[in-house]
Amino acid sequence: MTEYLADENVPVVQLAVGKHFVSLTPRQQRYAHHLARASWHGARVVAAQLSHESPAICRMLVDAVTGPNGACRDLTKLRDCSGVSAGEFQWFLEYAVCTLSNLGPYKSFGDTKFVPRLPIASFEKVVAASGSGAARDAFARLKSVIYSLDPEPIRRIGFPADGHVSGFYSSDVSRSDVEAVQTLLDASGISALNTRLFRAGPNAFDLRIASAETRPDQTLTGNSISVRVQYGDFAKEMADIVSEMQQAVEFAGNDNERLMCECYVKSFRSGSIDDHKQSQVHWIRDVGPPVETNIGFIETYRDPAGVRAEWEGFVAVVNADMTAKFAVLVENAQRFLAMMPWPRAFEKDVFHRPDFTSLEVLSFATGGLPAGINIPNYDDIRQTVGFKNVSLGNVLNASSPSEKVFFLSEADKALFQTHRGAAFEIQVGLHELLGHGSGKLLTEDPIGTFNFDRAMVNPIDGRPVRTWYKPGETWGSVFKGLSSSYEECRAETVAMHLMSNRDVLGIFGHGGRDGDDVSYVGFLSMAKAGLSALEFYDPASAKWGQAHMQARWAIFRVFLEAGLAELKHLEKEADLLLTVHRDRIATHGAPAVASFLSKLQVYKATADAVGGTQFYTSATAVDPCWLPIRDVVLSKKQPRKVFVQCNTFLHADGSVTLKEYEPTLQGVLQSVVERRCL
């Protein structure tokens, strides 16, 4: 059960952005401020989507560390007043920081629950010492939920009807219920992205749509069920978001930014996903802005059904030097797309050259920060208008001096530590631009027109294509909960397919022996990540808790089966030794990666959910022989980094100042208290 205890010795890293913020004009700073505030007003939405108790747990922790003057308490005084030991108080702080960073007591990277290390009685003493009646009453009400790990299924995010936890659904909604409702929504043209689903009766459901405004309910019927569509979910939060976004409109730098923000206002006020889709059209057309942003219900990773999206919003400042490298990658994208292992008919008819920028994050309202993003996720927008890629530089380059490297030889450790940053930078670039940005979906439109030749052959079985996306179907609705991990695997495999390409390496400034080393470390890093992925596999349920790690496990297995990678279990030392055979990358690794990647794309392109699910489920299966190795991986587990983010403050004269915080547990808590969003 120790694997469910909150991390200790948590490394805190500052998301530094000050020098980039001061380079903005006062008008740009004001624009960034309102966008950041709009993003963070959705923090309670993220918490509520995670679990029904998460908003109250987060609020309780904020109340406990907030003084009567509204500022963060002196934590040393709080510890002394509580009478708990220094070690127990440290555990309290670590639990609070991890919970507030994840916006709930479930890991954003892994989807597993964590509980405090300190005893309930000691936690109670800390809360009592805070003097906050609200915190004291909330803890009394929530303590059993906070500490509970039983029954066993509540330790993981998943369908509540199976005993798991999800804020997207009431406790009695099952997978089959979700699928039946989704069929009705698809037929009615209603998106599930910004919704939650609650049972209202034996065959009746309430679909709650996030919006600032309400409107009369409407009822959908079919498939022996009825669905009452209700607007006004998270009405207060959405109204606050709309208010800030309306102010952002006044400081937009051009027409595309203004139109984008106006569409955001319409979408968040009314709950219209069509308005949000239109915001993304303007966003894509806003090329190279000094202040970059994207806000809304974006990623579906944490919905067990893969159709409902978490709220998130980021605001960032462009890093011009790194963006120049990505611009060259974009210039050459069509040449690299021609190197993909699938037939030309499975690639987009037209490549819409995207904006690809390296950003320094000013704020990111989410439970877990990514290193790169490729959005929007709307299939029709991606295929007809395009998309954008962003690499988040101050996330990508953040490192903790306490981090250790396991499972590698001393020689490989030295190479890994020297070149990991460069290799990861290239991997993220390839993953976002050519991974998520590649590949065609074969579709039929409402009037029966196809975007492909009906006589084209499926290269997997050599027969004419028999499946495609029908009107109203999307990648997510067809492949459901598997879609997120599957697509991450496809994007990661594209990165591996091109990791040794001399031209790619040259774009990022790596040639000769240095380029060879960076390429090798790219493969070594992926193999190491795939091995470490076992931490996120749950043997009891035979389920994966993290989409990216499930993907990396599949790629690691490709390496192993091709003879590119080798793993030795050093049982006496309770350790593992991972080796990637450098001289086999071209001869063994490249053909195996290409074959695997081609299958991933063809199953996706043809909407073959049956074949694709069988293929990917098999590729990510974990044989029982791996469980002793998983035990070793868990024994070397390290706490995940926590980021302390800045805040911006608007003054009476209209100026905006930025405040950064120390990379400490207190710094994280102070930043959350002063953000005033939970």
pLDDT at 587 over 90: yes
Q: Tell me whether residue 391 is in a domain.
A: no
Q: Which of 3-17, 373-387, 642-656 has the lowest mean pLDDT?
A: 373-387
pLDDT at 642 over 80: yes
For residues 12-29, give the mean pLDDT.
95
How much is the pLDDT for 481?
86
The torsion angles phi and psi of 626, rounded to 5 degrees, stand at -85, -10
How much is the pLDDT for 223?
85
Spatial distance between the Cα atoms of 35 and 283, rounded to a whole number of angstroms: 14
Confidence label for 472 from pLDDT (cuts 50, 70 and 90):
confident
Domains of the chain: total: 3
Residue where a domain terminates, one of 235, 266, 286: 235
Spatial distance between the Cα atoms of 290 and 54, rounded to a whole number of angstroms: 35
pTM of the predicted protein model: 0.84
Q: Are residues 444 and 591 in the same domain?
A: yes
Model confidence pLDDT, tens digit, residues 48-96: 999 999 999 999 999 999 999 999 999 999 999 999 999 999 999 999 9
What is the percentage of the chain residues whose pLDDT exceeds 90?
A: 86
Spatial distance between the Cα atoms of 511 and 518, rounded to a whole number of angstroms: 9
Q: Which of 38-52, 286-300, 368-382, 394-408 has the lowest mean pLDDT?
A: 394-408
pLDDT at 303 over 90: yes
Model confidence pLDDT, tens digit, residues 236-258: 999 999 999 999 999 999 999 99
How much is the pLDDT for 384?
87
Average pLDDT, the chain: 95
Q: Are residues 537 and 676 in the same domain?
A: no
User: What residues are paired with 201 via a beta bridge?
Assistant: 204
Q: Tell me whether residue 337 is in a domain.
A: no
| Apex 541 CA angle, 540 and 547, nearest 5 | 120
Tokens of 625: 């022989």
pLDDT at 288 over 80: yes
Spatial distance between the Cα atoms of 422 and 519, rounded to a whole number of angstroms: 9
Q: Are residues 145 and 176 in the same domain?
A: no
pLDDT at 182 over 90: yes
Residue where a domain terminates, one of 235, 267, 300: 235
Closest Cα to residue 678, out of 21, 12, 64? Answer: 64
How much is the pLDDT for 160?
94
How much is the pLDDT for 349?
87
Q: Report the 10 Å Cβ neighbour count for 343.
A: 15
Inter-residue contact 675 to 101 (CB < 8 Å):
no
Q: Which of 339-343, 400-404, 405-409, 514-518 has the lowest mean pLDDT?
A: 400-404
How much is the pLDDT for 552?
98
Considering 17-21, 57-61, 476-480, 545-549, the range whose residues carry the highest mean pLDDT is 57-61
Q: Tell me whether residue 189 is in a domain.
A: yes
CA distances from 382 to 303, 352, 354, 376, 390 (A): 22, 9, 10, 7, 15
Closest Cα to residue 352, out of 325, 379, 382, 391? Answer: 382
Model confidence pLDDT, tens digit, residues 125-176: 999 999 999 999 999 999 999 999 999 999 999 999 999 999 999 999 999 9
Q: Are residues 455 and 525 in the same domain?
A: yes
More confident residue, 437 or 458: 458
Tell me if 34 is assigned to a ligand binding site. Answer: no
Q: What is the DSSP string of 360-404?
A: EEEEEESSS--SEEEE---HHHHHHT--EEEEEHHHHT---TT--
Count Cβ atoms within 10 A of the Cβ of residue 572 and give its class: 0-12 exposed, 13-18 middle, 19 or more buried: exposed
Return the active site residues: 432
CA distances from 165 to 149, 156, 549 (A): 12, 6, 20
How much is the pLDDT for 224?
93
The secondary element (H helix, E strand) that includes residue 277 is helix 273-285
Spatial distance between the Cα atoms of 322 and 509, rounded to a whole number of angstroms: 11
Which residues have C-beta within 8 Å of that of residue 455, sequence separation ≥ 6?
Answer: 464
Region for residue 497 given its phi and psi (left: phi exceeds 0; alpha: psi -120 to 50; beta: otherwise): alpha
Spatial distance between the Cα atoms of 74 and 78, rounded to a whole number of angstroms: 6
Inter-residue contact 237 to 44 (CB < 8 Å):
yes
Q: Are residues 541 and 630 in the same domain?
A: yes
Q: Are residues 146 and 168 in the same domain?
A: no
Count Cβ atoms within 10 A of the Cβ of residue 219 and give its class: 0-12 exposed, 13-18 middle, 19 or more buried: exposed
How much is the pLDDT for 675?
98
Q: Which of 315-324, 392-401, 439-448 has the lowest mean pLDDT?
A: 392-401
Q: Which residue has the tokens 């952002």?
A: 248
Q: Tell me whether residue 180 is in a domain.
A: yes
What amino acid is encoded at 450 in this protein?
F
pLDDT at 228 over 90: yes
Tell me which residue range forms the domain holding 439: 410-637
Q: Are residues 127 and 181 in the same domain?
A: no
pLDDT at 401 over 80: no
Q: Tell me whether residue 483 is in a domain.
A: yes
Residue where a domain terminates, one of 235, 251, 269: 235
Q: Are residues 77 and 214 in the same domain?
A: no
Spatial distance between the Cα atoms of 26 and 155, rounded to a whole number of angstroms: 47
Q: Are residues 602 and 672 in the same domain?
A: no
Model confidence pLDDT, tens digit, residues 99-119: 999 999 999 988 999 999 999
> Residue 151, preceding bond cis, omega within 30 degrees?
yes
For residues 647-674, give the mean pLDDT.
98
Distant-in-sequence contacts of 503-512, Cβ < 8 A, 24+ apart: 503/332, 503/335, 503/336, 504/329, 504/336, 504/426, 504/430, 505/426, 507/325, 507/328, 507/329, 507/332, 508/325, 508/422, 508/425, 508/426, 508/429, 509/325, 510/422, 510/426
Spatial distance between the Cα atoms of 139 and 593, rounded to a whole number of angstroms: 51
pLDDT at 399 over 80: no
SS3 assignment, position 618: helix
Dihedral sign for Cα atoms in the order 197, 234, 243, 55: negative
How much is the pLDDT for 390?
84
How much is the pLDDT for 37?
99
For residues 173-183, give the mean pLDDT.
95
Q: Tell me whether residue 416 is in a domain.
A: yes
Tell me if 488 is assigned to a ligand binding site. Answer: yes
Model confidence pLDDT, tens digit, residues 341-385: 999 999 998 887 787 888 999 999 999 998 888 889 898 898 889
For residues 581-600, give the mean pLDDT.
98
Q: Are residues 474 and 587 in the same domain?
A: yes
Q: Tell me whether residue 44 is in a domain.
A: no
Q: Are residues 190 and 229 in the same domain?
A: yes
How much is the pLDDT for 461?
94
Q: Are residues 78 and 208 in the same domain?
A: no
How much is the pLDDT for 155?
96
For residues 418-424, give the mean pLDDT.
93
Q: Tell me whether residue 127 is in a domain.
A: yes
CATH of residue 181's domain is 3.30.70.2600
